[in-house]
Amino acid sequence: MKKLAAMLMLATALVAPGVAVARDVTIEAQMVRYSGHAAYLAVYLTDPSGAYRSTLWVSGHKTKYYGTLRGWVRGVSQAGSISLDGISGASVGGGQTLTVHADLADALIDAGYTIHVDTAVENGGEFADDAVIEVTSNSASVDGSGYIDKLSISM
């Protein structure tokens, strides 16, 4: 029994450091209060040079409107292809909050990566980079420039 316990502790010691390679990051986009159609949002990650790296979330089910999320579309088209399985949901109305949870590798945190949110509303306008926030280990928030009132990030 002691031998089994020793082997389990050794195995845990060898595996545990590898488990801490990603952090759960919470991204919240608080929408301004407005009337009209709900907004489509694209939440995506760029590297320190500003190049698109990955899509974290897309709000809105009608793919015909995704083209209005211009910053995101530009990044996705340069990357080649995209799978939205499991990272899409309903559009977000005025005054509501979108909460996205993403697992980001520790190497991306405090390394110059940024999260961008593009927004668009049918018959209402579109905002590429409505809000942009750096991925840091400290909780932070920024003001949006269009349909987003505040964008925040926490770990």
pLDDT digits over 115-149, tens only? 999 999 998 999 999 999 999 999 999 999 999 99
Residues 46 and 83: their CA atoms lie apart, in Å, by 17
43: pLDDT strictly greater than 80: yes
* In contact, 92 and 98? CB cutoff 8 Å: yes
φ and ψ at residue 35, rounded to 5 degrees: -105, 160
Question: What is the token pair recorded at 76?
Answer: 């996705």
Strand, coil or helix: 98 = strand
Q: Is 135 left (phi over 0), alpha (psi -120 to 50) or beta?
A: beta
* In contact, 155 and 25? CB cutoff 8 Å: yes
pLDDT digits over 77-121, tens only? 888 767 777 788 999 999 999 999 999 999 999 999 999 999 999
For residue 149, what pLDDT is reported?
98
Provide the greatest CA pair distance for the chain.
Answer: 70
More confident site: 2 or 25: 25
